[in-house]
Protein backbone atom coordinates (compact mmCIF):
# COMPACT_ATOMS: atom_id res chain seq x y z
CA UNK A 1 0.00 0.00 0.00
CA UNK A 2 1.27 3.46 -0.90
CA UNK A 3 0.37 5.51 2.15
CA UNK A 4 1.42 8.77 0.54
CA UNK A 5 -1.30 8.33 -2.08
CA UNK A 6 -3.74 7.20 0.63
CA UNK A 7 -3.05 10.36 2.64
CA UNK A 8 -3.41 12.57 -0.42
CA UNK A 9 -6.80 11.03 -1.16
CA UNK A 10 -8.20 11.96 2.29
CA UNK A 11 -10.55 14.89 2.79
CA UNK A 12 -9.09 17.69 4.93
CA UNK A 13 -5.41 16.85 4.99
CA UNK A 14 -3.96 19.09 7.74
CA UNK A 15 -1.51 21.70 6.55
CA UNK A 16 0.33 21.94 9.87
CA UNK A 17 0.90 18.79 11.95
CA UNK A 18 2.62 18.86 15.35
CA UNK A 19 3.88 15.63 16.90
CA UNK A 20 4.95 14.80 20.45
CA UNK A 21 7.30 11.94 19.61
CA UNK A 22 7.10 9.96 22.81
CA UNK A 23 7.94 6.39 23.85
CA UNK A 24 11.55 5.87 22.76
CA UNK A 25 12.63 4.84 26.27
CA UNK A 26 9.82 2.32 26.73
CA UNK A 27 10.47 0.85 23.28
CA UNK A 28 14.09 0.25 24.28
CA UNK A 29 13.21 -1.07 27.74
CA UNK A 30 10.78 -3.63 26.30
CA UNK A 31 13.74 -5.04 24.39
CA UNK A 32 16.26 -4.77 27.22
CA UNK A 33 18.16 -2.14 25.25
CA UNK A 34 19.64 1.06 26.56
CA UNK A 35 17.23 4.04 26.20
CA UNK A 36 19.63 5.60 23.71
CA UNK A 37 18.94 2.73 21.28
CA UNK A 38 15.30 3.85 21.37
CA UNK A 39 16.31 7.42 20.57
CA UNK A 40 18.45 6.23 17.65
CA UNK A 41 15.56 4.26 16.24
CA UNK A 42 13.33 7.29 16.93
CA UNK A 43 15.54 9.47 14.77
CA UNK A 44 15.24 6.97 11.89
CA UNK A 45 11.45 7.24 12.22
CA UNK A 46 11.75 11.03 12.01
CA UNK A 47 13.41 10.68 8.58
CA UNK A 48 10.64 8.36 7.44
CA UNK A 49 7.77 10.55 8.64
CA UNK A 50 9.39 13.67 7.21
CA UNK A 51 9.56 11.92 3.82
CA UNK A 52 5.93 10.83 3.93
CA UNK A 53 4.81 14.31 5.05
CA UNK A 54 6.73 16.00 2.26
CA UNK A 55 5.50 13.59 -0.41
CA UNK A 56 1.92 13.95 0.82
CA UNK A 57 2.13 17.74 0.52
CA UNK A 58 1.93 18.62 4.23
CA UNK A 59 3.13 22.22 4.56
CA UNK A 60 4.49 22.33 8.12
CA UNK A 61 5.60 19.52 10.44
CA UNK A 62 6.51 20.58 13.98
CA UNK A 63 8.31 17.85 15.93
CA UNK A 64 8.79 18.01 19.70
CA UNK A 65 12.30 16.62 19.91
CA UNK A 66 13.61 17.91 23.24
CA UNK A 67 11.81 19.78 26.02
CA UNK A 68 13.11 22.30 28.55
CA UNK A 69 12.41 19.68 31.22
CA UNK A 70 14.38 17.03 29.31
CA UNK A 71 17.60 18.84 30.37
CA UNK A 72 17.00 17.25 33.80
CA UNK A 73 17.44 13.70 32.46
CA UNK A 74 20.70 11.84 33.23
CA UNK A 75 23.63 13.60 31.58
CA UNK A 76 24.55 10.52 29.58
CA UNK A 77 21.10 10.49 27.94
CA UNK A 78 21.10 14.25 27.31
CA UNK A 79 24.55 14.01 25.71
CA UNK A 80 23.42 11.12 23.51
CA UNK A 81 20.32 13.05 22.42
CA UNK A 82 22.45 16.09 21.50
CA UNK A 83 24.85 13.90 19.51
CA UNK A 84 21.94 12.26 17.70
CA UNK A 85 20.49 15.68 16.88
CA UNK A 86 23.80 16.85 15.43
CA UNK A 87 24.14 13.60 13.43
CA UNK A 88 20.56 13.83 12.17
CA UNK A 89 20.97 17.39 10.89
CA UNK A 90 24.36 16.69 9.31
CA UNK A 91 23.12 13.54 7.59
CA UNK A 92 19.85 15.10 6.39
CA UNK A 93 21.09 18.46 5.10
CA UNK A 94 21.95 17.27 1.55
CA UNK A 95 18.59 15.50 1.39
CA UNK A 96 16.75 18.60 2.65
CA UNK A 97 18.36 20.58 -0.18
CA UNK A 98 17.43 17.93 -2.75
CA UNK A 99 13.87 17.71 -1.42
CA UNK A 100 13.35 21.48 -1.00
CA UNK A 101 12.79 21.12 2.79
CA UNK A 102 13.13 24.24 4.95
CA UNK A 103 14.32 23.63 8.50
CA UNK A 104 13.34 25.95 11.35
CA UNK A 105 13.66 25.56 15.11
CA UNK A 106 11.77 26.85 18.14
CA UNK A 107 12.87 26.86 21.76
CA UNK A 108 15.59 28.33 23.94
CA UNK A 109 18.16 27.45 21.30
CA UNK A 110 20.93 29.29 23.16
CA UNK A 111 20.84 26.47 25.74
CA UNK A 112 21.94 23.88 23.17
CA UNK A 113 25.62 22.87 23.19
CA UNK A 114 27.73 24.98 20.83
CA UNK A 115 28.42 22.14 18.37
CA UNK A 116 24.66 21.57 17.95
CA UNK A 117 24.05 25.33 17.64
CA UNK A 118 26.61 25.53 14.84
CA UNK A 119 25.10 22.62 12.91
CA UNK A 120 21.58 23.92 13.51
CA UNK A 121 22.39 27.49 12.44
CA UNK A 122 24.04 26.17 9.30
CA UNK A 123 21.05 23.95 8.47
CA UNK A 124 18.56 26.77 9.07
CA UNK A 125 20.49 29.28 6.94
CA UNK A 126 21.29 26.80 4.14
CA UNK A 127 17.65 25.71 3.80
CA UNK A 128 16.12 29.17 4.39
CA UNK A 129 15.02 29.71 0.80
CA UNK A 130 13.56 26.25 0.28
CA UNK A 131 9.84 26.37 -0.46
CA UNK A 132 8.67 22.80 0.21
CA UNK A 133 7.91 21.20 3.57
CA UNK A 134 8.78 23.35 6.60
CA UNK A 135 10.27 20.96 9.15
CA UNK A 136 10.09 22.84 12.44
CA UNK A 137 11.97 21.28 15.37
CA UNK A 138 11.03 22.11 18.96
CA UNK A 139 14.38 21.95 20.77
CA UNK A 140 15.00 22.96 24.35
CA UNK A 141 11.38 23.97 24.00
CA UNK A 142 8.94 24.77 26.79
CA UNK A 143 5.68 26.55 26.22
CA UNK A 144 5.77 28.38 29.55
CA UNK A 145 9.30 29.56 28.76
CA UNK A 146 8.06 30.73 25.36
CA UNK A 147 5.15 32.64 26.91
CA UNK A 148 7.51 34.13 29.52
CA UNK A 149 9.86 35.24 26.74
CA UNK A 150 6.88 36.78 24.90
CA UNK A 151 5.95 38.75 28.05
CA UNK A 152 9.52 40.03 28.32
CA UNK A 153 9.65 40.97 24.65
CA UNK A 154 6.29 42.80 24.75
CA UNK A 155 7.27 44.61 27.97
CA UNK A 156 10.51 45.81 26.37
CA UNK A 157 8.62 47.13 23.34
CA UNK A 158 6.27 49.03 25.64
CA UNK A 159 9.09 50.51 27.67
CA UNK A 160 11.06 51.62 24.59
CA UNK A 161 7.90 53.16 23.13
CA UNK A 162 7.64 50.94 20.04
CA UNK A 163 4.38 49.38 21.27
CA UNK A 164 1.44 50.86 23.14
CA UNK A 165 -0.56 48.86 25.71
CA UNK A 166 -3.72 49.67 23.74
CA UNK A 167 -2.28 47.82 20.74
CA UNK A 168 -1.87 44.51 22.56
CA UNK A 169 -4.15 41.88 21.08
CA UNK A 170 -3.96 38.18 20.27
CA UNK A 171 -2.05 38.93 17.11
CA UNK A 172 0.63 40.84 19.02
CA UNK A 173 0.95 37.91 21.42
CA UNK A 174 1.26 35.42 18.53
CA UNK A 175 3.87 37.60 16.89
CA UNK A 176 6.02 37.50 20.02
CA UNK A 177 6.01 33.72 20.34
CA UNK A 178 8.82 31.59 18.85
CA UNK A 179 6.25 30.43 16.27
CA UNK A 180 5.59 33.95 15.03
CA UNK A 181 5.78 33.14 11.32
CA UNK A 182 4.03 29.79 11.60
CA UNK A 183 0.25 29.25 11.64
CA UNK A 184 -1.24 27.19 14.48
CA UNK A 185 -1.21 23.39 14.07
CA UNK A 186 -4.35 21.76 12.65
CA UNK A 187 -3.52 18.39 14.18
CA UNK A 188 -1.47 17.38 17.21
CA UNK A 189 -0.41 13.74 17.43
CA UNK A 190 1.08 12.23 20.60
CA UNK A 191 2.52 8.74 20.47
CA UNK A 192 2.87 6.29 23.39
CA UNK A 193 -0.61 6.84 24.83
CA UNK A 194 0.16 9.68 27.24
CA UNK A 195 -2.76 12.12 27.37
CA UNK A 196 -0.90 15.29 28.32
CA UNK A 197 0.75 18.21 26.60
CA UNK A 198 4.04 18.18 28.52
CA UNK A 199 4.50 21.93 28.06
CA UNK A 200 4.05 21.84 24.27
CA UNK A 201 2.51 24.79 22.35
CA UNK A 202 -0.03 25.69 25.05
CA UNK A 203 -1.12 28.87 23.28
CA UNK A 204 -0.97 27.59 19.70
CA UNK A 205 -3.00 24.40 20.29
CA UNK A 206 -6.15 26.27 21.41
CA UNK A 207 -8.27 24.89 18.54
CA UNK A 208 -6.05 22.08 17.30
CA UNK A 209 -7.46 18.55 16.95
CA UNK A 210 -5.67 15.93 19.07
CA UNK A 211 -5.05 12.31 18.11
CA UNK A 212 -3.33 10.17 20.73
CA UNK A 213 -2.05 6.79 19.64
CA UNK A 214 -0.76 4.01 21.91
CA UNK A 215 1.98 3.23 19.40
CA UNK A 216 5.46 4.07 20.70
CA UNK A 217 7.34 6.53 18.48
CA UNK A 218 9.94 3.95 17.27
CA UNK A 219 7.00 1.77 16.09
CA UNK A 220 5.24 4.63 14.29
CA UNK A 221 4.88 3.73 10.60
CA UNK A 222 3.49 5.42 7.46
CA UNK A 223 0.42 3.19 7.93
CA UNK A 224 -0.14 4.46 11.49
CA UNK A 225 0.46 8.01 10.29
CA UNK A 226 -2.15 7.51 7.60
CA UNK A 227 -4.57 6.15 10.23
CA UNK A 228 -4.16 9.22 12.47
CA UNK A 229 -4.70 11.51 9.47
CA UNK A 230 -7.77 9.49 8.53
CA UNK A 231 -9.14 9.99 12.04
CA UNK A 232 -8.52 13.73 11.69
CA UNK A 233 -10.37 13.76 8.36
CA UNK A 234 -13.58 12.71 10.15
CA UNK A 235 -13.37 15.51 12.73
CA UNK A 236 -15.59 18.56 12.52
CA UNK A 237 -13.72 21.66 13.62
CA UNK A 238 -16.34 24.01 14.97
CA UNK A 239 -14.33 26.86 16.52
CA UNK A 240 -17.20 27.61 18.86
CA UNK A 241 -19.90 27.58 16.18
CA UNK A 242 -22.70 25.05 15.78
CA UNK A 243 -22.49 22.09 13.46
CA UNK A 244 -25.29 23.58 11.35
CA UNK A 245 -23.34 26.81 10.93
CA UNK A 246 -20.25 24.89 9.86
CA UNK A 247 -22.23 22.94 7.27
CA UNK A 248 -23.73 26.19 5.99
CA UNK A 249 -27.27 25.01 6.80
CA UNK A 250 -28.20 28.25 8.56
C1 LIG B 1 10.66 10.71 23.70
O2 LIG B 1 10.83 9.46 24.26
C3 LIG B 1 11.96 11.38 23.35
C4 LIG B 1 12.33 12.47 24.25
C5 LIG B 1 11.61 12.94 25.23
C6 LIG B 1 13.60 13.11 24.02
P7 LIG B 1 11.09 9.25 25.82
O8 LIG B 1 12.57 9.21 26.03
O9 LIG B 1 10.33 10.23 26.62
O10 LIG B 1 10.49 7.79 26.02
P11 LIG B 1 9.65 7.25 27.25
O12 LIG B 1 8.51 8.18 27.48
O13 LIG B 1 10.60 7.20 28.42
O14 LIG B 1 9.20 5.89 26.82
C1 LIG C 1 7.68 15.21 25.90
O2 LIG C 1 7.94 13.91 26.30
C3 LIG C 1 8.88 15.80 25.23
C4 LIG C 1 9.28 15.20 23.96
C5 LIG C 1 8.66 14.26 23.31
C6 LIG C 1 10.46 15.76 23.38
P7 LIG C 1 8.38 13.57 27.80
O8 LIG C 1 8.57 12.10 27.83
O9 LIG C 1 9.52 14.40 28.21
O10 LIG C 1 7.08 14.00 28.61
P11 LIG C 1 6.61 13.56 30.07
O12 LIG C 1 7.75 13.79 31.00
O13 LIG C 1 6.24 12.10 30.00
O14 LIG C 1 5.41 14.41 30.34
MG1 LIG D 1 8.47 10.22 27.38
Residue 68 CB less than 6 A away from ligand 2 = no
**Nearest ligand to residue 25 Cα:** 1
Is 118 assigned a catalytic role?
Answer: no
| 113-145 residue pLDDT tens | 999 999 999 999 999 999 999 999 999 999 999
Going from the Cα of 125 to the center of ligand 1, the distance in angstroms, rounded, reads 29
Ligand 2, atom 3: nearest CA belongs to which residue? Answer: 67
> Which of ligand 2's atoms lies nearest the C-alpha of 64?
6
What are the structural domain ranges in the chain?
3-142+184-246
Q: What is the pLDDT of residue 152?
A: 98
Q: What is the pLDDT of residue 250?
A: 81
Residue 159 — pLDDT band, cuts 50, 70, 90? very high
Q: Which of 12, 34, 51, 70 is catalytic?
A: 70
Q: Which residues line ligand 1 (CB under 6 A)?
A: 21-26, 66, 70, 81, 192
The percent of residues above 90 in pLDDT, for the chain, comes to: 99
> Which of ligand 2's atoms lies nearest the C-alpha of 22?
5
> Which of ligand 2's atoms lies nearest the C-alpha of 65?
6
Contacts (Cβ under 8 Å, ≥6 apart) of 139? 65, 66, 85, 105, 106, 107, 109, 112, 120
| 92-109 residue pLDDT tens | 999 999 999 999 999 999
Q: What is the pLDDT of residue 1?
A: 75
Residue 84 — pLDDT band, cuts 50, 70, 90? very high
Ligand 2, atom 8: nearest CA belongs to which residue? Answer: 22
Contacts 24+ apart (CB under 8 A), 148-156: 149/108, 149/176, 149/178, 150/176, 150/177
Q: What is the pLDDT of residue 17?
A: 99
> CA–CA separation, 190 vs 133, rounded Å?
20
Going from the Cα of 157 to the center of ligand 1, the distance in angstroms, rounded, reads 38
CATH topology of domain 3-142+184-246: Undecaprenyl pyrophosphate synthetase (3.40.1180)
Alpha-carbon torsion, ordered 191, 192, 194, 197, to 10 deg = -30
Ligand 1, atom 8: nearest CA belongs to which residue? Answer: 25
Amino acid sequence: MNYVEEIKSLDNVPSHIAIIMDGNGRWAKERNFNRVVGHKRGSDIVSLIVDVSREAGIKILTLYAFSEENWNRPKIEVDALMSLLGEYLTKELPKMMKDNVKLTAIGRLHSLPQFVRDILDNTVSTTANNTGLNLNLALSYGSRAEITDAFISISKQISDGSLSIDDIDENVISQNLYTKDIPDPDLMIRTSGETRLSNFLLYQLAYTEFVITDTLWPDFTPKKYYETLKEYSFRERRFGLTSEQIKGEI
